Amino acid sequence: MSGEPRQLEIHLRVNSKRGNHMVHPLAVETVSTSDTVQYQREEAKHYRKRFPWLIPLFVVANIVMFVITMYVNNCPHNSVSCIASFLGRFSFQPFKENPLLGPSSLTLQKMGALDVSRVVHRHQGWRLITCMWLHAGVFHLLANMLGILVIGIRLEQEFGFVLIGLLFVISGFGGSMLSALFIQSNISVGASGALFGLLGGMLSELITNWTIYDNKLAALLTLVIIIVINLAVGILPHVDNFAHIGGFLTGFLLGFVFLIRPQFGWVNQRYAPLNYSPGRAKPKFKKYQCILWVLSLILLVVGLSVGLVALLRGVDANDHCSWCHYLSCVPTSKWSCHTEAAYCESNQLGNQLNVTCSSNGKSNTYYMQDPTSSQIQQLCTQLCS
């Protein structure tokens, strides 16, 4: 402690003996001002907010990867027509092929999109991770990055970059794995699984630290409404809701493991002055927090292990759940949920290219000299859509 003089408080104790009153001074030590200040500093340090840098770095990495993807895509060279052609090789594929203002599916596949056939048959398991750093278009990128910034920065300030970084990556992996188990005919990209993992982590953090929050019912209701609305959007076509659900469940379980907070009583006790003696030692965590921690860790390890083994063995989860496909898309009179990869037959005669779609039988003739495979694939996609 500091060199300040210790404060002494003089109490007077009066003893009576045979009518004679004797006065004895009794010195009692109290907590010094310096002890109190040090205690307050240590306790404030425990609850300090960290500087968030990892989540913004993740956002920058996603933006950089999108720019690189568009550079590789090189629409003017590989496609018949492009949107925003003044951007040169960074211009976008036609709306009919990609309404999100982005690259072609072939480019995304080349850059590391989630392709189940390649994961299972070519042992490219790394696609379960790389797909979360790619995006299908500008709109897709902006929506995900805005959500990640709003939610992720708050969590990183509270819990630090290590825990939130792990939560982000593992949730993205969990979302990719569930998506691969149910959606096996199309490629998938995006950080939405990781984003929903952050949402799930926020929800479980609120539940496991329930006793230390004020206005918790209002916070819980608001968070649940946000999650339900975002999951409901996933039933639209061309939205991979299985990645959302998988990421959310993974993040929800990880929140009980990573985002558990000690009780206020334990914190006060830990940073109390040395001469402070509490009546009863406070436990760091409550019993329900420990129970949720153990159960969540078991469910997480078992779920990820079983899912990964099933995926690598080529299991199609739809064979074991006939109704689960409705979780990702609900067909209506306005749209269909049945999507297949476009396959076409093409014949080149001079500068005439004849393309026939195998799925709907449509055919068309194009006048092109030495078309590339990417150009033919784009024409095929437009013809089959």
Q: Is 32 exposed, middle or buried (0-12, 13-18, 19+ CB in 10 A)?
A: middle
State the CB neighbour count (10 A cutoff) for residue 144: 20
Looking at 104, 105, 192, 328, which residue is catalytic?
192
Looking at 140, 179, 244, 374, which residue is catalytic?
244
192 catalytic, yes or no?
yes
244 catalytic, yes or no?
yes
179, 229 contact by CB (below 8 A): no
3-state secondary structure the chain: CCCCCCCEEEEEEEEEECCEEEEEEEEEECCCHHHHHHHHHHHHHHCCCCCCCHHHHHHHHHHHHHHHHHHHHCHHHHCCCCECHHHHHHCECCCCCCCCCCCCHHHHHHHCCECHHHHHHCCCCCHHHHHHHCCCCHHHHHHHHHHHHHHHHHHHHHHCHHHHHHHHHHHHHHHHHHHHHHCCCCCECCCHHHHHHHHHHHHHHHHHCHHHCCCHHHHHHHHHHHHHHHHHHCCCCCCCHHHHHHHHHHHHHHHHHHCCCCCHHHHHHHCCCCCCCCCCCCCCCCHHHHHHHHHHHHHHHHHHHHHHHHHHCCCCHHHCCCCHHHHCCCCCCCCCCCCCCCCEEEEEECCEEEEEECCCCCEEEEECCCCCHHHHHHHHHHHHC
Task: Sort strands 8-17 and 20-29 into parallel, antiparallel or unpaired.
Answer: antiparallel
Of 336, 337, 344, give the one whose Cα is nearest residue 362.
344
Catalytic residue positions? 192, 244
